Amino acid sequence: MMAHRLSIAAAVCLAGAAPAEAGVWFEPGSEALRRDVERLAAGGLLPGPVNAWPLPSAAVCGAAARASGAPGLASAARRIGRTCRDGARPVSLEASAGLATGAAPLRGFQRSNRSSADLALHVRGRAGRFHVALGAGYRAADGGYLHADGGHVAVELGRWAIYGGYVDQWWGPGRDNALLLSTNARPFPKIGFKRLEPARIDLPVLRWLGPVHLEGFAGVLAERRADFDNPVVAAARFAFAPAQGLEIGLGRSLQLCGAGRPCGLRTIADAVLALDSRENTGTPNEPGNQLGGFDVTYRRTIGRTAATFYAEAVGEDEYKHMPEQWGRLAGLRLAGPADARGALWSLEAEWADTLAQKWFGRRGRAPGSLYNHHIYREGYRYRGRSIGSGLDTDGRMLSVSASFTTADDRRVFAGYRSVDLNRTGNAGHALVGAPAELGIANGGIELPIPHGSLRLEGRWTRPLNEGARRLPTGPQVEVGLNLRR
């Protein structure tokens, strides 16, 4: 019954898969927009947390207006300002088309095709406090299907919003990976709430938290599964910025309920409070699957260069009321002006490891722990993809990338990923059943065109062991067109 009600609440609207340019927030999917936002944050003009996407637009648009004449930030402010003006229109029409010789082998923050053909047409509008996305999309995968990914209704209530729909989530500072919630899997129907502008808690002791952000949701993995159909996933994130340039995020996710599983108030309370003796027993008596973790980001401008250092850890299972087995990632981003006209360069490096490591006095690895569970045997996944990192369980990735954006907003980019998938040969891995080592090189260009943008990307996936030959390898080409009115 809960799955049915949430599905109805989320399905009142449809939308295509292109990143939102209008409404109460900016959806995940544009690396260029994210870099511009982080430049304002590093420059001290955007206080408060910015690592949870969709990112509320109010604070970002205000910061862009303040930064319009700031040295080194004017070009980023101009691009964000244009996006904000598009979002201020009461109605906007958007069409997107993505064609590719094959879907990207691994998905990061940048939106890419989920099939050889992704098509969408949708309308976004606002009327007072109400924001709506309506439309339809088609993908050529799995014999071809229509979808409602990205559709939502949101209502502003002061400095808060409540929403229902198929909303993509990316929680955390990573570029290629987000360990708790990412856009690797398709969005599932959910209802939730989100703070629209950072708040300050004017109470003793808590003042040191600085600007804070809070959001949460409950949704249904609306599918038939080999374990329990239509389980519920609920998650919450609290983030704060106690010092200039420092952001800390705390997140928790619960997977529970589903057809044939208990789903009463007792079960929910046991899962949320984690105080019941049935927690972490390794039996069907547990309320469900849980993950929790934290991320830390420090941004600072050094001369004319904006530097961002970040790390994230997400844990499975419980030992002495703390997550016991942890996946990790860490990274560094550098960006700065390339000339006096507003051109920008950026360099990034990121490392991630989802072969969980035991901490807090119980050393050692925990193969197959992250994203798997003895009750929910299909794991923390939706339609065959991990809701967390695209590596799925027991993976490792080292990635490097660079980009250059000209003064007239033409962007060229290139990168390389060294990837080890399923290092332990875990049978529950979503992508491959044996250890697979890959090298993935990519490069491309993004061009502004009248009323939209054009993205061209080439990829080369090289298998480095026999297990990798079971995956799509070799060259791929992807073209993405986005038009707005």
In this predicted model, what pLDDT tens digit does every residue of 365-406 receive, in sequence order? 889 999 999 899 999 999 999 999 999 999 999 999 999 999
> What confidence score (pLDDT) does residue 376 get?
93
> pLDDT-derived band of residue 70, with 50, 70 and 90 as boundaries?
confident
> What confidence score (pLDDT) does residue 10 get?
33
Fold for domain 2-404+415-435? Porin (2.40.160)
> pLDDT-derived band of residue 303, with 50, 70 and 90 as boundaries?
confident
Distance of CA 325 to the CA centre of its chain: 22
Asked if residues 306 and 336 have their Cβ atoms less than 8 Å apart, the reply is: yes
DSSP letter string, 88-154: HSSEEEEEEEEEESS--SS--SS---SSSEEEEEEEEEEETTEEEEEEEEEE-GGG-EEE-TT-EEE
What pLDDT, in 10s, does the model give residues 84-139?
A: 887 778 888 889 999 999 888 899 999 999 999 999 988 888 888 999 988 889 99
What value does the mean pLDDT take over residues 70-85?
Answer: 84
What are the structure tokens assigned to 430, written together?
Answer: 């979503």
What pLDDT, in 10s, does the model give residues 174-227?
A: 999 999 999 999 999 999 999 999 999 989 889 999 999 999 999 999 999 999
Q: Which of the 8 DSSP states describes residue 467?
A: G
> pLDDT-derived band of residue 19, with 50, 70 and 90 as boundaries?
very low
Q: Which of the 8 DSSP states describes residue 261?
A: S
The model's pTM is: 0.91
**Residues comprising the chain, all counted:** 485
Q: Where are the domains of the chain?
A: 2-404+415-435
What pLDDT, in 10s, does the model give residues 262-274?
A: 888 888 888 777 6
What value does the mean pLDDT take over residues 231-236?
Answer: 96
Which residues does 449 contact at the CB level (< 8 Å), separation at least 6?
Answer: none
> What confidence score (pLDDT) does residue 313 get?
97
> What confidence score (pLDDT) does residue 105 get?
83
The C-alpha atoms of residue 113 and residue 17 are separated, in whole angstroms, by: 9
Which residues does 88 contact at the CB level (< 8 Å), separation at least 6?
Answer: none
